[in-house]
Chain A
Amino acid sequence: MSKRRPNYLAGFGSLVWLFLVGLPLYAMLVATFQSRADYGANGPLALPKTFTLDNYVKDFQSGFGQYFLNTALVTVCVVGIVVLLVPPLSYAIVRSRSRLTHTVFRLFLLGLAIPSQAVIVPMFYVMSEAGLYDNLIGVILPTAAFAMPVCALILSGVMRDITPELYEAMTMDGASSRRVFFQLVLPLSRSGLSTIIVFSALQAWNGFLFPLVLTQSADTKVITMGLYDFQTEHGVDIPGLLAAVVLSMLPILLVYLFARRALVQGLMGVGGK
């Protein structure tokens, strides 16, 4: 804030928080490279005495490779649906004068507050009736739908920042809505697009409830379900379990390294001022 002496108190508080966040992550990583016996003897905070990759190998042998592929498929499809549907929606929200569009925007805002838990029973009903139970399509559709409100909010916020003069300059020459969208709006909302891609990918990758309720067999298992099953079935094999946790977050951490700015900016925007 001010350029005076550094804020020691806040700096200290932030270090405490860093410790709280960093220590469990460190303990987890260390545990995954130990054998079960070593981990049991030394406890989670001891420095590792041996090094092994067995835990990771074991996880892959018990099906995590397949769960990875399933999760990746769900994520790609969810992102695809969001990227296809949300930009035109946000464009209409920002530029359309139609009453209907504004009603739709209100419904999406209402959708921000619909807890996905509340609709799992009807979702189970609908997907069973539609023959999509235990099918990844049945997970993809609601996951995409529930990611849309926040994405629409983020993207329409970005599109609102495009100045009216630019629209006018283009449409003066008789450019159609479609040309304005493809030649003006889309290129100028690239930052917002990357935000909603990262955000919806995160939602899809980490999704728990819809897969829990809507899938069952090993063929349709996603990573979070793999973790949950592992926990309930072999909860005492903590190094193996933690290796699975590390595996589940590796792709996300990689994305985060490259897309941190987009994600952080987008989430900052959600809060409003």
Chain B
Amino acid sequence: MTPTATGVSRPGFAWAAPAAVFFGLFALLPLVLVAVLSFTHWDGLSAPRFTGLDNWSKLFDDPVMLKSLWLSVLLTGLGVAVQTPLSILLGVWAAGHQRNRAVLSAIYFVPLLLSAAAVSVLWRAVLDPNFGVPAHAEWLFGDGNLFGVQSSAIGVLVFVSAWQFTPLHTLIYQGAARAVPRVLYQAAQIDGAGRVRQFFHITLPQLRNSIITSTILMVVGGLTTFDTVLILTQGGPGTDTTISAFYMYQKAFKNFDYGTASAIGVLLVLVATVISLIVVRLSGYDRMRSTMEGL
């Protein structure tokens, strides 16, 4: 609070304290508690009872758990593979100055505004085997029950996630593509480089940091996909789309085994934290500042 030698007064920690306390209480404290609860048995009624590594050893012997981890990785990987090229192309396009771009991009971003619940309910209805599109397009969907087979159920989940989240990543790339210095393109044009070469030799390398950030967001988001699975497939058929986040929810709020669920929660946090540390290392949070100039 006191003015420094140059006469500039600076705010002290007190300014950050209310937010810090609030965040600590409702985000960080639960994070500590989840670790503690993972070493207990708790049924939600009686007090949690300390059981050491019991939940953890059970977890690693649980075939459904191991399958759910693999499914989480698979869904995340497919999500990145579908959304990254799509959002780079759309983002670079949206950064340009085509005539109808403003109108089109206003519609593009609508999925971003909808809740995962709304998006899932909408697609569940559109793809309903009895009343939806498959019932009226047998030539494309066969018997039409997309949710009854593992491969098509996974396909639907990947598609719906891409539908919902591609606009977000498009925005990230749009901002970054606008920030590429025009001189680079002008120089390339003088050298006679075509549009495709310009894309691969200038645009893509310049988007490097955004690709890292966006991919990490996709990975963290993909690993923790939950609402979509709950509404679209309920983890089924069988446990064929039971990803870890959904398995955790089932363990806790269907089987009332909150201790094991906590252990799964800790696993999710560990993975997400490792990934976030990679982000900070690779892209540098100090560079994560405003990119307002582009708009």
Give chain A residues whose Cβ lies under 8 Å from the Cβ of B252.
120-121, 124
Q: Which segment of B18-26, B58-66, B74-82, B150-158 sits at the interface?
A: B18-26
Q: Does A187 contact B (CB under 8 A)?
A: no
Smallest Cβ-Cβ distance to A245: which chain B residue: B118
Give chain B residues whose Cβ lies under 8 Å from the Cβ of A91.
11, 15
Q: Does A69 contact B (CB under 8 A)?
A: no
| Complexed CA–CA distance, A242 and B125 (Å) | 8
Known: A14-B90, A96-B11, A231-B124. A260 touches B213 (CB 8 A): no
In this complex, which of A17, A84, A104, A157 has the most chain B Cβ atoms within 10 angstroms of its Cβ? Answer: A17
Do the beta carbons of B272 and A114 come within 8 Å of each other? yes
Known: A111-B23, A175-B9, A249-B114. A101 touches B265 (CB 8 A): no
One digit per residue, 1 when the CB lies within 8 angstroms of any chain A CB and 0 when it does not, for chain B 163-189 equals 100111001111110010010010001
Q: Does B200 contact A (CB under 8 A)?
A: no
| Complexed CA–CA distance, A223 and B117 (Å) | 9
Give chain A residues whose Cβ lies under 8 Å from the Cβ of B132.
43-44, 238
Smallest Cβ-Cβ distance to A93: which chain B residue: B16
Secondary structure dominating the interface of A: helix
Do the beta carbons of B118 and A272 come within 8 Å of each other? no
Give chain B residues whose Cβ lies under 8 Å from the Cβ of A157.
288-290
Do the beta carbons of A86 and B34 come within 8 Å of each other? no
Q: Does B46 contact A (CB under 8 A)?
A: no
Q: Does B5 contact A (CB under 8 A)?
A: no
Q: How large is the interface on B (under 10, 10 to 19, 20 to 34, 35 or more residues)?
A: 35 or more
Q: Does A118 contact B (CB under 8 A)?
A: yes
In the assembled complex, the CB of B23 is this many whole angstroms from the nearest CB of chain A, namely: 5
Smallest Cβ-Cβ distance to A112: which chain B residue: B276
Pick from B98, B136, B195: contact of A44, CB under 8 Å: B136
Give chain B residues whose Cβ lies under 8 Å from the Cβ of A60.
none
Can you show 16 pairs from A to B with CB atoms below 8 A apart?
A1-B203, A101-B15, A109-B280, A117-B245, A118-B272, A124-B258, A126-B30, A160-B289, A176-B1, A191-B292, A209-B227, A241-B125, A245-B118, A256-B110, A268-B174, A269-B291
* New A-B contacts (12) at CB < 8 Å, excluding given A14-B104, A264-B171: A7-B96, A10-B92, A21-B167, A44-B131, A96-B10, A98-B13, A171-B7, A180-B11, A191-B292, A227-B115, A238-B132, A245-B118
